[in-house]
Amino acid sequence: MTRILILGGGFGAVYAALRLERTLARRPDVEVTLVSRDNFLLFTPLLHEVAAGDLAPSDIVNPLRRMLRRVRFVQGDVQSVDVAARRVHLTRDVRRVPLALDYDQLVLALGSDTNFFGLPGVAEHAVTLKTLGDAVLLRGRVIESLEMASLEPDRAVRRGMLTFAVAGGGFAGVETIGAINDLVRDSLQYYPKISPDDVRFVLVFPTEFVLPELDDSLRRYAQRKLVERGVEVLPETRVTAFDGTAIALSSGTSIRSATLIWTAGTTPSPVIGALPCAKERGRVMVDEYLQVPGCPGVWAVGDCAAVRDARTGGLHPPTAQHARQQGLHLARNIEATLTGSGTRPFAFSTIGQLASIGHRTGVANVVGINFSGFAAWLLWRAVYLFKLPRPAKKLRVAVSWALELLFSKDPEQLITVRDVHAIARLAARLNGSGPVDGRSVIAASN
């Protein structure tokens, strides 16, 4: 029995598993196992749409057990990889029960964690947008800010409650602030005691223009449209600290705000750091075939892999479309390894890059042609609808988007601080850690 073990639940891991589902997993002498902390594939490019209320959380997740019938699924957290013994150590459920799995071929696709760069207070108080729970909590936090501000008589305090700052001018930061800006401004009709002048949106980023991956004309267009929609942009500026009430900036000034959304950096999984192999920028170095040199039978893709671009000499960026193509290519190379045919070097191909910047406006570069405005926004939706797995999810998202065009957003909280308290108390009882204080729960909910 040849044991193929895939670690991760993102695009690289799941698309490698889907390819092997149709090929090697059919063989009686091959066992393919996917290990992930979540039992679903999260379509991360649409996370900001959940935070804004355009889509429901269930619209952008696909259950792995439904997608994979021949590939074995194990829900657990990877703790370490013993390359010499060819064994992976996991823990399962909140009680952290240990579990070990052996492998012959190992795929590292563990993704990345948020990097706060050690900035004072940022890790404790900032909001992130990497998981489905983050999107739901962010939406709840925004609506709760509107509810509290509607009862606050002090205008200065109210303005601090309604100041939403995003750190990071890449695709994630721009799409997030565009979506949250739309959510708040569409919801103000239900809060007559809040003036539009009380609301403030700030985008902080270290480059001259947003979306540095795009060409100059699209960058300038996106930045201009954000300003027209009431977003205050602070280029060539970095966040240096955040205490939950004020954001300190590299310019020496500060912003009074209770909400900082952090999209400014990622770091590979800590499991990667402990591996005895070469790394670059914390990511595992792989060869042109996506194998890890010096570690027989180990492959790596996605955010945790340093994949060299043969054309430019640089590293491929850690994006969903790169991880998807790497996962599929890696699966083909594993098939070639087991069947004795030749492996092929990885070459990335793309039709372009797209971003939604809010208010049914977008920017896109497709096959070398630039698009902007409503046409780019429609193209963005069409592309991601096409790439969303499973016809049932495509239909749900299409219907949700059609309804969103006809009706305004509903300002409901799907999860509140009370819900977070209840979840934390349940987790504490299950893992035997005892009572949980309210301050730690609120910090965790952020």
Angle between helices 11-22 and 320-339 (to 10 degrees): 40
Whole-model pTM?
A: 0.91
CA pair distance 207, 102, nearest whole angstrom: 45
Q: In terms of DSSP H, where are the helices of 230-288?
A: 270-273
Find where tokens 């996106």 sit: 222
pLDDT at position 67: 96
Question: What's residue 338's pLDDT?
Answer: 94
* Unique residue bearing structure tokens 């270290």: 206
CA distances from 316 to 226, 307, 322, 365 (A): 28, 6, 7, 18
**330 is written with which tokens?**
């890696």
pLDDT score for 432:
65
d(CA 209, CA 342): 44
In tens digits, the chain (446 residues) has pLDDT values of: 999 999 999 999 999 999 999 999 999 999 999 999 999 999 999 999 999 999 999 999 999 999 999 999 999 999 999 999 999 999 987 778 999 999 999 999 999 999 999 999 999 999 999 999 999 999 999 999 999 999 999 999 999 999 999 999 999 999 999 999 999 999 999 999 999 999 999 999 999 999 998 999 999 999 999 999 999 999 999 999 999 999 999 999 999 999 999 999 888 888 999 999 999 989 999 999 999 999 999 999 999 999 999 888 899 988 999 999 999 999 999 999 999 888 999 999 887 899 999 999 999 998 889 999 999 999 999 999 999 999 999 999 999 999 988 887 788 887 776 777 677 676 677 666 554 444 343 344 43
The values of phi and psi at residue 290, to 5°, are 75, 20
Which among 279, 292, 303 has a CA at the least distance from the CA of 115? 303
The predicted pLDDT at position 368 comes to: 86
* Domains, the chain, with CATH or none: 2-37+76-114+267-339 (3.50.50.60), 122-264+352-406 (3.50.50.100)
- 336's tokens: 């070639």
Separation CA 17–CA 67 (nearest Å):
10
Q: How many CB atoms lie within 10 A of CB 367?
A: 7
At residue 446, the pLDDT reads 39
Query: What is the CA angle 285-291-296, rounded to 5?
Result: 110
